[in-house]
Structure 1
């Protein structure tokens, strides 16, 4: 939405108890009104990877939690990530405790490829969590098409 987009009014019907919970939530989050909160919820829903076309070029993160003592899992994850080196921009590795690690992959590429990577991580034995979150849709260009000769 740009500043020039006209605002359209519409009505929403909700049970009283739901709207009371919603009002409490948005007040805690610092929203001035329901419209701002609903606009943000709508933007978030539109950026859900499940709502996107497989060939859209996006940027985002894959967050995972895993047991680094699981048999060969760190090696398997490293090999898997090397297979997606064009899509992985950066990684961060955090030791949560003696057994668990949190790893964040900053990714950019086609939704199809990023979903595939997330799903391949999720099914590995020892991975307790793996989530793809899309934060940007690149509508300007296809970043793979650029020649980066030096």
Structure 2
């Protein structure tokens, strides 16, 4: 790879039992070394929805399992998705057994709106599981919002100094 990223090296101290478990983990998943595995774990942590700002544009999934026999639940879930149609790319519906359905919704949009959709799904009676997972942050929008935040913050602080 010609465009190699600059690497910063640092030491990490692990208790022996923990590093042994980590080495088993990386071997099971086919990593070549600890660094690759550690980098992936850090990337995953940085994409946790709880640490991202609501105004960020992201892509990811909402995964849910629900009992389709619960009165009006399938209709209510469909209504929620229609209300959020601008943020929904696609969905997949799987019949798990006689009672339960698994639905995977691919989403892309404002994280605050996606969190709201996730919460609306999660609180429905008969929804057994619902999780929002972010797998992509729109860096171009992020840079633009950081610039505008700095700009407005600069004026805001000048106002206080007058």
TM-score by structure 2 length?
0.83
Q: Runs (4+) of structure 1 moved beyond 6 Å?
A: none
Instruction: Give the structure 2 partner of residue 52 of structure 1.
Output: 52
Instruction: Give the structure 1 partner of residue 40 of structure 2.
Output: 40
How far does the alpha carbon of each residue in 1:55-85 deviate from its partner, in whole angstroms, 9 at most, with x for none? 1101111000000001110011011111101
RMSD: 1.5
Instruction: Give the structure 2 partner of residue 81 of structure 1.
Output: 81
Q: Distance in 1 between matches of 2:129 and 2:115?
A: 14
Higher helix share: 2
Q: Distance in 2 between matches of 1:5 and 1:31?
A: 19
1:135 and 2:135 correspond: yes
Alignment of 1:1-150 (within 5 A): 3-141=3-141
How far does the alpha carbon of each residue in 1:4-62 deviate from its partner, in whole angstroms, 9 at most, with x for none? 43111111112111111110011000001100000000111111111111111011110
- Could you say what secondary structure the match of 1:86 adopts? helix
Q: Structure 2 unaligned runs (5+)? A: 143-162
Q: Which structure has the larger Rg?
A: 2
Shift of 1:141: 4.3
TM-score by structure 1 length?
0.89
Q: Structure 1 unaligned runs (5+)? A: 143-150
- Could you say what secondary structure the match of 2:43 adopts? helix
Shift of 1:105: 0.5
Shift of 1:124: 0.7
Q: Distance in 1 between matches of 2:71 and 2:138?
A: 38
